[in-house]
Amino acid sequence: MPQLNPAPWFFIMIITWLTFSLIIQPKLLSFVTMNPPSSKAPTTYTTTPWTWPWT
């Protein structure tokens, strides 16, 4: 059963993980967010309860 042989798949997994963590991830983390969080206080909305017609 050749699919149980971990030799080629383990190497592919390690190369993929290293590629992602060393090359792709720093490039993705270098982007600046387009909508940075602001220091404004959150607005609270006043709502009225729903009046049910059958009660």
How far CA 52 is from CA of 1, 39, 44, 49, 55, in Å, comes to 66, 39, 24, 9, 6
Confidence of residue 13 (pLDDT cuts 50, 70, 90): very high
Residue 27 confidence (pLDDT): 87
Predicted local confidence at residue 15, as pLDDT: 94
Helix (H) or strand (E) segment spanning residue 26? helix 25-29
What is the value of pTM for the model shown? 0.45
Q: What is the total residue count of the chain? A: 55
Query: Mind listing the pLDDT tens digit for each residue in 19-41?
Result: 999 998 888 888 867 777 778 88
What percent of the chain shows pLDDT beyond 70? 91
